[in-house]
């Protein structure tokens, strides 16, 4: 394994380990109605999901980001992202 591959594996493991924290943070932001922070977190998760081989997380995060940005109801998108993060962190 190259140094780059080792670093990527370490970062992927961190992503998996932090999934529960991300779920909790998103839930708190949703409860507070903080669209800007939801948008920020969803954008970050979209990139990380793609980087670490979780395209469904990226798609769900992008959908949540768009709903937050457009002022739409985020319930369905947030539930889907939460479900997928739960599967990764399990």
Report pLDDT digits (tens) over 49-73: 999 989 999 999 999 999 999 999 9
Range of the domain at 8: 3-89
State the DSSP string of the chain.
Answer: --HHHHHHHHHHHHHHHTHHHHHHHHHHHHHHT-HHHHHHHHHHHHHHHHHTT-HHHHHHHHHHHHHHHHT---HHHHHHHHHHHHHHH-
pTM of the complete model: 0.89
Number of domains in the chain: 1
Does the pLDDT at position 90 exceed 80?
no
């Amino acid at each position: 394994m190259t140094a780059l591959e080792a670093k990527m594996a370490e970062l992927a493991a961190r992503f998996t380990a932090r999934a529960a924290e991300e779920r909790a943070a998103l839930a708190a932001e949703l409860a507070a109605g903080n669209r800007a922070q939801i948008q920020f977190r969803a954008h970050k998760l979209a990139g990380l999901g793609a980087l670490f081989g979780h395209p469904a997380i990226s798609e769900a995060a992008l959908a949540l980001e768009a709903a937050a940005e457009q002022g739409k109801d985020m319930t369905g998108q947030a539930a889907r992202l939460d479900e997928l993060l739960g599967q990764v962190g399990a």
